[in-house]
Amino acid sequence: VVNTDHDERYRDFWQTYHKMMARKGISEQMAKLEMRRRTTLIGSMMVKKGEADGMICGTISTTHRHLHFIDQVIGKRDGCSVYAAMNALVLPGRQIFLVDTHVNVDPTPEQLCEITMMAAEEVRRFGIEPKIALVSHSNFGTSHAPSAQKMRDTLALLREHAPDLQVDGEMHGDVALDANLRREVLPESTLEGDANLLVLPNIDSANISYNLLKTAAGNNIAIGPMLLGAAKPVHVLTASATVRAIVNMTALVVADAGAAYPPSRTT
């Protein structure tokens, strides 16, 4: 527990933050002020210092505001150049993951390629083999719009960088979720079975799709947003997060932390 009015770690926290950000416009006074009033900044510093194994934030303010402090203090995983948010829905008879629902407004093919690989890795951690559909208004070349071409370029990059992934596109949403329909449209599609990981071309399509599916599905389990690309187990929720959603994400953070440390460590 951190008491923002008095905590023996306060001086170390603000001095560390100032040292990290001194060349990015953060003065000593600003570091002192921010370290008292920004709970996400305090939590990020606790994770960085080893005072906490993970963090959940985001039920107040916006994703990008929280991600700003996470990026300053915790940063990205080695080899990652982008963050992304993935949401999951546990529906009758299927699980669906959607990415990127909250972070990148209009990701490039290179970013989508990296996001897809991170998302596939996370899906596997749930014990599910990812079957990935690059979703679009275009269906296997029916449109030459920039957004459709972006998804085709993403597929080409994935073929190069992650040839082991089961992925195909660009395709319509119904074709992604219905393997029989996909076989009718393109019998030689390299994606087998119903897709369970939907990669959308921009934040509008991803966020709208997730919220429509979540609301239409009723009382089924929603998990997320899961932050992909961070160096530590941290996740940014949304203002609409229910108690159940917070409990689900707490369990995920515990699993993340357990995977990051030796079995003897208590979380």
Condensed to tens digits (0 to 9), the pLDDT of residues 16-64 reads 999 999 999 999 999 999 999 999 999 999 999 999 999 999 999 899 9
What pLDDT digit, counting tens, does each position of 159-169 carry?
Answer: 999 999 999 99
Q: How far is CA 193 from CA 49, 146, 165, 178, 190, in A?
A: 45, 28, 14, 8, 10
- Look over the chain and give the mean of its residue pLDDT values, rounded to a whole number: 92
Give the tokens for residue 202. Answer: 């921009």
Looking at the chain, the whole-number percentage of residues with pLDDT higher than 90 is 82
Matching CATH topology for 1-75+230-267 and 79-220?
yes
Query: In which region does residue 159 sit, left (phi positive, over 0), alpha (psi from -120 to 50) or beta (all else)?
Result: alpha
Residue spans of the domains in the chain: they are: 1-75+230-267, 79-220
The reported pLDDT for the residue numbered 264 is 41
According to DSSP, residue 22 is labeled G
Which CATH architecture describes the domain 79-220? 3-Layer(aba) Sandwich (3.40)
118 versus 61: the higher-pLDDT residue is: 118
Note the pTM of the prediction, 2 decimals: 0.90
CATH number for the region 1-75+230-267 comes to 3.40.50.10950
166 versus 265: the higher-pLDDT residue is: 166
pLDDT band at 260 (very low <50, low <70, confident <90, very high): low
Distance CA 242, CA 264 (A): 32
Give the tokens for residue 250. Answer: 């707490």
Give the tokens for residue 68. Answer: 């700003």
